[in-house]
Amino acid sequence: MFKFIVFLNVGVAALLLLSHVSSYINPSSFWLASLMALAFPGLLLVNLLFILYWLLIKSRALFLSLFAVLIGFDNLRSQVQLNLFKNEVPAQAQKLRVLSFNARLFDLYNWTGNPKTRDKIFKMVQDETPDILCFQEFYTSSKPGRNNLDTLLHLQKAKNLHVAYTETLRNSDHWGIATFSTYPVVGKGNILFHEETNNLCIFTDLKIGQDTVRVYNVHFQSNRFKREDYEFLGNPNAKPSNDEKITASRNIIRRLQVGAMKRAGQVKVVSDHIKNSPYPVIVCGDFNDPPASFTYNRISKGLKDAFVESGWGLGNTYNGLFSVLRIDYLLHDPRMVGSGYRTIRQNLSDHYAIVSDLWLKPAQAKR
């Protein structure tokens, strides 16, 4: 029995090691690596349970999982944080409160089952009073009760706007991405991806005192699961036949493959653009990938992660079936200091909003 448990431990420790390596593997070359990144939270939990088990029976076998956990410490700290001390704020630094949120079209189709969700989103924004506000899955319309753009401009202090639409219907309904700011917009642009998609990245240059900061607002490719996919994942035994189970599984795997490969191309375009920015950057968005992924590893190089800097507890931002996933991020230039990172755990979307105070050191020069 002891040998069998050790054998199992070796297996899950090896899988955890593979999940660490997956962040360096381009899914375009080997897309299965992206599945290991998704499995990281579960693999981490199982390995921690093995460590606890070996501690209880006082066995040196605990080093199997301990080694696998520690060698991927960066992945661990990107998922779980225990910041006990506040970061020191630089003297005369400018405070920027940044909020990022995938608003899921402001609950246009009543996914939450609560007709007051839209108003609650507006109340959340009012309560947080951000200086920079980034929305993904933004929706607005000229129809009464759906003009989210005008409502946001009216009720909160960030009046300067950069919005880009990926789809417009009837010349009145618009879907896209939006950045609001209390600071003047002195430059802006859209980063288009090389395939047909509703995903997009925009960049907005803000004049903050004597400095200019470039804010990237990005929504990378989703896996585009359909309702039947979620139903199968939530209750795979509900399918009446093995053939339907096989078909459902193949559809899900196919969507994961396509999503991972598209994100690999998209993140290259955005990360290259960030590297060439003449200004310090802030990157907000829904990456649709966890911290152990190629997407996160590629775009976060040279930047700080606000959650890692000052977050607490589990960093999950997805409010759906796999609720342990962290797929929404707030990254920033190392010449800024982050403090007070929070995940706003309100049932307003299938994502949670994230917010952090960033302190911009004075007299920032161009790169």
pLDDT score recorded for residue 66: 96
Using alpha carbons only, what angle is made at residue 336 by residues 215 and 104, rounded to the nearest 5 degrees? Answer: 40
Judged against a pLDDT cut of 80, whether residue 225 lies above it is answered with: no
Judged against a pLDDT cut of 60, whether residue 342 lies above it is answered with: yes
Residue 3 to residue 339: CA distance in whole angstroms: 47
Choose between 247 and 206: higher pLDDT.
Answer: 206
- Angstrom CA distances, 314 to 75, 106, 311, stand at 12, 25, 9
Query: pLDDT tens across 281-309, in order?
Result: 999 999 999 999 999 999 999 999 999 99
Judged against a pLDDT cut of 50, whether residue 366 lies above it is answered with: no
High-pLDDT (> 70) share of the chain, %: 92
Q: 75: closest CA among 24, 120, 2, 14?
A: 24
Going by pLDDT thresholds of 50, 70 and 90, the confidence category of residue 229 is: low
Q: 286: closest CA among 222, 225, 346?
A: 222
Contact (CB, 8 A) for 102 and 137: yes
Going by pLDDT thresholds of 50, 70 and 90, the confidence category of residue 86 is: confident
Judged against a pLDDT cut of 70, whether residue 57 lies above it is answered with: yes
Residue 309 to residue 331: CA distance in whole angstroms: 10
Residue 325 to residue 337: CA distance in whole angstroms: 25
Query: pLDDT tens across 8-41, in order?
Result: 999 999 999 999 999 999 999 998 889 999 999 9
Residue 321 to residue 229: CA distance in whole angstroms: 11
pLDDT score recorded for residue 362: 80
Going by pLDDT thresholds of 50, 70 and 90, the confidence category of residue 365 is: very low
Judged against a pLDDT cut of 50, whether residue 367 lies above it is answered with: no
Q: What is the mean pLDDT of the chain?
A: 91
- In the beta sheet, which residues pair with residue 154? none
Kindly write down the DSSP assignment for every residue of 182-242, as one continuous string: SSPEEEEEEE--SSS-S-EEEEEEEEETTEEEEEEEEEPPP----HHHHHHHH-GGGSSSH
pLDDT score recorded for residue 65: 96
Taking residues 47-58, what's their average pLDDT? 95
Alpha-carbon torsion (109, 112, 118, 119), positive or negative: positive
